[in-house]
Amino acid sequence: MRIASRVRFLVCGAVLLALLWGGSYLSAGALPSALSWPRAPSTAAAGASPNPGFPPTVPFVPTRPPVPPQPVPFPHVAMVSRGVPCLFCHSGATRSPTAGIPSVYLCMGCHLVIGRDSPLIRQVRTYWEAQQPIPWVRIYRLPGFVQFSHRPHLAAGLNCEACHGDVGQMEVTVPYPAYKQMGWCLECHEHQPNPLPLTECQICHY
């Protein structure tokens, strides 16, 4: 059963990848918003779902639970307000389970020219000149018995804000309050056209 579940998951992942890179999701009107360029600032109202067809299970308002300080106080709002899409920095979301954190090399590829005299960029440049990675403190960490991949969710047209909150309006990145609640995930899965396979245990626990 365990092997069969893994095989089924791999086959589904391969099909989703084929659709994504084969052009089905790159046609006009079918491009997920996380891939669009430039990305317009969010105008979603509090309590509204940022994805038509997906339930607004959690108010669409970023909360401020206690979060650890970061080595560089990175404001996502500064990037999104200038039209930088999520996947420019978090490109791993389209090809791996994790979205990934941009390297200092990627940051300085832009900021050797853009905003080079900003106090925040000077902090980033310190790591660049020392050839050291920025020791970002991880905010999202699921339990070891939960398997999650960004890839199929992006392929299904889900917006980043649906799970991460309106990060584009955040000066300080905070975790969405319900991301560790299984019922939150299940409720969204139950509203999909094919709810039966999406609510089986081995979808997330394998």
**pLDDT one-digit tens code per residue, 51-95:** 444 444 444 444 445 677 889 988 899 999 999 999 999 999 988
Q: Are residues 113 and 187 in the same domain?
A: no
- pLDDT at residue 170, rounded to an integer: 84
- pLDDT at residue 180, rounded to an integer: 66
Largest CA distance in the chain: 58
Angle among Cα 99, 100, 103 to the nearest 5 degrees reads: 145
- Domains held by the chain: number: 2
- pLDDT at residue 61, rounded to an integer: 42
Q: Are residues 122 and 179 in the same domain?
A: no
Instruction: Write out the two tokens for 73.
Output: 């106080």
Range among 77-86, 169-178, 181-190 with highest mean pLDDT value: 77-86
Q: Are residues 129 and 140 in the same domain?
A: no
Residue where a domain terminates, one of 135, 153, 183: 135
Who contacts 183 (Cβ-Cβ below 8 Å, separation ≥6)?
A: none
Residue where a domain terminates, one of 84, 110, 135: 135
Please tell me the number of Cα atoms within 13 Å of 78 on its side-chain side: 11
Q: CA-to-CA distance for 73 and 136, rounded, in angstroms?
A: 10
| Statement: residue 99 has pLDDT above 80 | yes
Range of the domain at 128: 102-135
Q: CA-to-CA distance for 141 and 113, rounded, in angstroms?
A: 34
User: Which residue shows structure tokens 């791993």?
Assistant: 92
Using an 8 Å Cβ cutoff, are 164 and 176 in contact?
yes
Q: Taking the CA atoms of the chain, what radius of gyration do you get in angstroms?
A: 18
Using an 8 Å Cβ cutoff, are 108 and 124 in contact?
yes
Domain-located, residue 47: no
Q: Are residues 14 and 92 in the same domain?
A: yes
Who contacts 55 (Cβ-Cβ below 8 Å, separation ≥6)?
A: 49, 187, 188, 191
> pTM score, two decimals?
0.63
Residue 82 CA, distance from chain mean position = 18
Q: Minimum mean pLDDT among 49-58, 88-97, 173-182, 191-200: which range?
A: 49-58
Q: Are residues 146 and 128 in the same domain?
A: no
Q: What is the pLDDT of residues 29-44, one digit of tens each?
A: 333 344 333 333 343 4
- pLDDT at residue 31, rounded to an integer: 34
Q: Are residues 21 and 122 in the same domain?
A: no
